[in-house]
């Protein structure tokens, strides 16, 4: 047997220094954090509350419900999504889950069971008739959640998108596909983006009035989830799922063993959050969200979002000012999708390769770390403002430099 590596971390970590330095890291998606969130998480870990029912921890449940309602107010969600309204307990409500994937899974299961009830199905015999829909740009985890919820992979429709809708879902195309399914005797069950809105990333921006229009029409959807652990200064894990009818979740997810029976539950006046999630046990996640909202307040949270968007806008301006580059998808928030354009003798395929090499070389410098994706068959670089920053000066120099392969940023 060979000798043990006494410092496994040093050999496991690649040389890509930027990958581990938040201020140089522009890949994937935001994972912002804050002192308030860390303190909340630390206290929650120390208390180790497992508030599955209200009775198991009234404080954990009430604080979660309160923090969710505050956030709903900040997002100007309709009161139908709130746990408590001015007139008392509504039919809707929220729950904090670990990830968006879980939010998709529980809402898919609820939609599946509601569809089965609609068809008068005996047991699960009609599951092969149920269909679900999403844009081809919908996060890949949706397709995983569909499989976990038991949908037939052949009935998971990925609707193609294109530049004409800025890679958004085209309602006419969606209707066409749904109609064809209905005509074929299938049961249309779930649309990610219409019945459920996945606002994992962008939801946080909607606390700012200037971005709130992205949630227009939310009053007509059944559920919406967004993740403060992405962009609202809250450490993992914290995905807020809001539903218009909490019973649709509990009809599918409720468990009622003898040892959990209690008067509070029987009164119907309290929320047992275990009935809105996969597991029974649950962390006291409401505390960190409460701490973030209580500590920073509306103005500071909005400032944080605006500052990240300003950094992305600054970067976008650098890219647009250089005609060797193109911005591939219109920028809405703090993510810029861009690439070196195919020009002259360079084909689109050549450009894909040039962009790949550019990214690899850039990432090797240790000065910045980007990720890529493919949009409309093009290899595209993603510049995402991902870490909470108090200043923008570090990025002033992140503008394109004369083209070799080290285009930018050579000195941030």
Ligand X SMILES: Cc1ncc(COP(=O)(O)O)c(C=O)c1O
Q: Of 61, 101, 189, 271, which lies in the binding site for ligand X, with binding defined by CB under 6 A?
A: 101
**Which residues pair with residue 159 across a beta bridge?**
135
CB closer to ligand X, 61 vs 99: 99
Which position among 133, 201, 211, 284 is part of the footprint of ligand X (CB under 6 A)?
Answer: 201
Shortest distance, position 157 Cβ to ligand X, whole Å: 18
Among 100, 107, 161, 223, binds ligand X (CB under 6 A): 100
The H or E element spanning position 190 is: strand 187-191
Pick between residue 189 and residue 227 the one whose CB is nearest to ligand X: 227
Query: Cα separation of 228 and 100, whole Å?
Result: 11
The backbone torsions φ and ψ at residue 133, rounded to the nearest 5 degrees and listed phi first, read: -135, 145
Q: How far apart are CA 109 and CA 253, in angstroms?
A: 8
Following DSSP, what letter does each residue of 134-184 receive, concatenated? Answer: EETTS-THHHHHHHHTT--GGGEEEE---GGGTT---HHHHHHHHHHHHHT
Contact by Cβ (8 Å): 190, 140: no
Task: Decide whether 102 or 272 has the Cβ nearer to ligand X.
Answer: 102
Q: Give Rg (Cα) of the chain.
A: 23
Distance CA 15, CA 410 (A): 17
Bridge partners of residue 325, in order along the sequence: 340
Cα 110 from Cα 146, distance rounded (Å)? 12
Which of these, 282, 254, 225, lies nearest to 105 by C-alpha position? 225
Min dist CB 333 to ligand X, Å, is: 11
Q: With CB under 6 A as the contact rule, which of the stretches 58-66, 97-105, 183-191, 249-257 interacts with ligand X? A: 97-105
Angle between helix 100-119 and helix 246-253 axes, rounded to 10 deg: 80
Q: How far is the CB of 340 from ligand X (least distance, A)?
A: 25
259 is catalytic: yes
The residue within the footprint of ligand X, chosen from 155, 227, 355, 363 (CB under 6 A), is 227
Q: Which is nearer to ligand X, 96 or 358 (CB)?
A: 96
Among 33, 34, 83, 99, binds ligand X (CB under 6 A): 99
Options 99-107, 244-252, 283-291, 350-358: segment touching ligand X (CB under 6 A): 99-107
Closest approach of ligand X to the CB of residue 201, in Å: 4
CA atoms within 13 A on the CB side of 376: 14
Per CB under 6 A, 200 contacts ligand X: yes
CA distance 142 to 132: 10
CB contact at 8 A, 337 and 382? yes
Cβ atoms within 10 A of the Cβ of 321, count?
10
**Whole-number Å distance between alpha carbons of 90 and 66:** 14
Residue 29 touching ligand X (CB under 6 A): yes
**Part in contact with ligand X (CB under 6 A); list of ranges 197-205, 208-216, 306-314, 356-364:** 197-205
139 forms part of the interface with ligand X (CB under 6 A) = yes
141 vs 155 by CB, closer to ligand X: 141
How many residues lie near ligand X (CB under 6 A)?
11
- Residues ≥6 apart with Cβ < 8 Å to 360: none
Does the protein bind ligand X through residue 239 (CB under 6 A)? yes
Q: Which stretch binds ligand X (CB under 6 A): 7-15, 95-103, 256-264, 307-315?
A: 95-103
Residue of 167, 242, 259, 369 with catalytic role = 259
Tell me how far, at minimum, the Cβ of 143 lies from ligand X, in Å. Answer: 11
Bond before 237 cis per omega within 30 degrees? yes
CB of 33 to ligand X, least distance (A): 15
- Applying CB under 6 A, the span of 34-42, 195-203, 274-282, 361-369 interacting with ligand X comes to 195-203
Catalytic residues, by residue number, are 259
The contact set with ligand X (CB under 6 A) reads 29, 99-101, 139, 141, 198, 200-201, 227, 239
């Amino acid at each position: 047997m060979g000798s043990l590596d006494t410092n496994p971390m040093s050999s496991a970590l690649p040389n890509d220094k930027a990958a581990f330095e938040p201020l140089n890291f522009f890949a994937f998606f935001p994972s912002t954090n804050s002192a308030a969130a860390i303190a909340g998480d630390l206290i929650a870990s120390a208390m180790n509350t497992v508030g599955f029912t209200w009775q198991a921890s009234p404080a954990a449940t009430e604080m979660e419900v309160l923090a969710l309602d505050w956030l709903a107010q900040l997002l100007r969600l309709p009161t139908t999504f709130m746990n408590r309204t001015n007139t008392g307990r509504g039919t809707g409500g929220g729950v904090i889950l670990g990830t968006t994937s879980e939010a998709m899974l529980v809402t898919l299961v609820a939609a599946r069971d509601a569809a089965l009830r609609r068809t008068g199905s005996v047991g699960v015999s009609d599951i092969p008739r149920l269909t679900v829909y999403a844009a081809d740009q919908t996060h890949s985890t949706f397709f995983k959640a569909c499989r976990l919820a038991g949908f037939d992979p052949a009935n998971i429709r990925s609707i193609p998108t294109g530049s004409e809708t800025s890679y958004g879902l085209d309602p006419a195309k969606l209707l066409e596909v749904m109609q064809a399914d209905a005509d074929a005797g299938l049961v249309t069950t779930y649309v990610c983006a219409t019945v459920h809105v996945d606002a994992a990333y962008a939801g946080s921006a909607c606390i700012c009035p200037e971005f709130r229009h992205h949630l227009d029409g939310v009053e007509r959807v059944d559920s919406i989830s967004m993740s403060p652990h992405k962009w609202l200064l809250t450490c993992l894990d914290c995905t807020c799922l809001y539903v218009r009818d909490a019973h649709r979740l509990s009809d599918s997810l409720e468990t009622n063993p003898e040892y959990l029976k209690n008067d509070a539950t029987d009164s119907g006046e309290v929320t047992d959050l275990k009935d809105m999630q996969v597991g029974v046990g649950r962390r006291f996640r409401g505390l960190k969200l409460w701490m973030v909202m209580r500590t920073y307040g509306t103005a500071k949270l909005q400032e944080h979002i605006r500052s990240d968007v300003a950094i992305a806008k600054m970067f976008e301006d650098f890219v647009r000012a250089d005609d060797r580059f193109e911005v591939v998808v219109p920028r809405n928030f703090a993510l810029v999708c861009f690439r070196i354009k195919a020009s002259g003798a360079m084909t689109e395929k050549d450009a894909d390769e040039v962009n790949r090499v550019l990214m690899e070389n850039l990432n090797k410098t240790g000065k910045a770390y980007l990720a890529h994706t493919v949009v409309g068959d093009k290899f595209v670089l993603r510049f995402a403002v991902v870490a909470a920053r108090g200043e923008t000066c570090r990025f002033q120099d992140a503008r394109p430099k004369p083209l070799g392969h080290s285009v930018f940023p050579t000195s941030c």
